[in-house]
Amino acid sequence: MNLLLTGCFNYSEEQMAALRSLGYNVYFMQQEKDDLPIDTSELDVIVCNGLFLSHDIDGFTKLKFIQLTSAGFDRVPVDKIKARKIEIYNARGVYSTPMAEWALFRVLEHYKKGWFFKREQEAGRWTKHRGLREVAGTKVAVVGAGNVGQEVAKRFKVFGAETTGFDIHENETPYFYHMALTETLKERVGEFDVVVMTAPLLPSTKGLISREVLMAMKKDAVLVNIARGGLIDEQAMCEVLAERTDLFAVLDVFEQEPLAEDSPLWKLENVAVSPHNSFASDGSNKRMFDVMYNNLKAFIEKK
């Protein structure tokens, strides 16, 4: 059975050997935009991220299994995959811990004025700041109460925040004091000190954070996006953040990546930009390999 691996994951020699030991003929390509090392019609199994953005899935006539190294499904032709009954798995749970830690870190960095103290240290100035804030007692909305959202809520809850999850259901969910429907966010967003985006990008969530929602946010609120850039109307956000300097945006994802050099987001004082990096950690490689190995093992054992 032919297995294609791409450079979206950094394999060690031991990991490559472990996959071969399962019985796969392993092929590797570094860049997903490049020509494939084997004809598309001969591939049975693929581990990738955005391969099908550059290669038409219709040419993969024998394809039976896809393992994504991303948590989202927005970079693959889901309808075609379902129609052909191709098994597909994502990186569920792999990046939840570092992403949740990143969200909390960035809010704490803003609340405790980390940038200010770094600048003062570099200048050799002994300067106190009396405007520090506490996470304890804040109200935190997490939009998307799945695996990542729950890990975000878990950490803010430990710090004494009141957590509310927004999702397509109102079922009791771990680490949330309250649950609400995503469709109610617009009317309730003004209640929250922090709004963290962890929802998948779907037609129903695209542009969810609109100009109206941004303008309705609580004074001095923080917006964190560690999910997908398309959840926010980026143009509206640039304009609102320039007008409402009390708001602070923590942005790890964007509508177009890399973020354009001329984007005003780079220079706005009330924005923290990072290059889609919140998922990275020293624990992610092992978690991701464990997920793909177990799924690939289960698949080949069924054949």
CA distance 109 to 117: 10
Domain 2-94+282-302: assigned CATH number: 3.40.50.720
Lowest mean per-residue pLDDT among 70-74, 110-114, 244-248: 70-74
Strand partners of residue 25: 2
The pTM of the full predicted model, rounded to 2 decimals, is: 0.93
Structure token pair of residue 134? 């506490």
User: What does the H/E/C string look like for 91-145?
Assistant: CCCCCHHHHHHHHHHHHHHHHCCHHHHHHHHHHCCCCCCCCCCCCCCCEEEEECC
Q: For position 262, what pLDDT does the model report? A: 97
- Residues of the chain by 3-state class (helix, strand, coil), percent to 5: 35, 15, 45
**Position 22 pLDDT exceeds 80:** yes
Which run of H or E residues covers position 5? strand 2-6
What is the DSSP track for 179-232?
EEEGGGHHHHGGG-SEEEE-----TTTTT-B-HHHHHHSPTT-EEEE-S-GGGB
Identify the band that residue 303 occupies on the pLDDT scale cut at 50, 70 and 90: confident
* Alpha carbon distance 165, 6 (integer Å): 35
CATH number belonging to the domain at 96-273, selected among 1.10.10.10, 3.50.40.10, 3.40.30.10, 3.40.50.720: 3.40.50.720
The yes-or-no verdict on residue 242 having pLDDT over 80 is yes
pLDDT for res 202: 93
Instruction: State pLDDT tens for residues 76-131.
Output: 999 999 999 999 999 999 999 999 999 999 999 999 999 999 999 999 999 999 99
- For residues 207-225, one letter each, b for 16 or more C-beta atoms within 10 angstroms of the residue's C-beta and e for the rest, the string is bbbeeebbebbbeebbbbb
Give the per-residue pLDDT at 153: 98
pLDDT score of 268: 98
Span between the terminal Cα atoms of the chain, in Å: 10
Mean pLDDT taken over the chain: 97
The CA distance from 253 to 226, in Å, is 6
Positive or negative: CA dihedral 142, 144, 147, 148: negative
Q: Decide if pLDDT at 246 tops 90.
A: yes
CATH 3.40.50.720: which residues of the chain? 2-94+282-302, 96-273
pLDDT over 90 (residue 54):
yes
How many Cα atoms within 13 Å fall on the side-chain side of residue 46?
31
Q: In the predicted model, is pLDDT for residue 21 greater than 90?
A: yes
Report the pLDDT averaged over residues 298-303: 93
Kindly report, residue by residue over 148-202, the tens digit of the pLDDT. Answer: 999 999 999 999 999 999 999 999 999 999 999 999 999 999 999 999 999 999 9
Output the pLDDT for position 244: 98
Overall average pLDDT of the 256-274 stretch: 97
**Pair of tokens at residue 240:** 């609102």
Judge whether 60 and 39 are in contact, CB under 8 Å. no
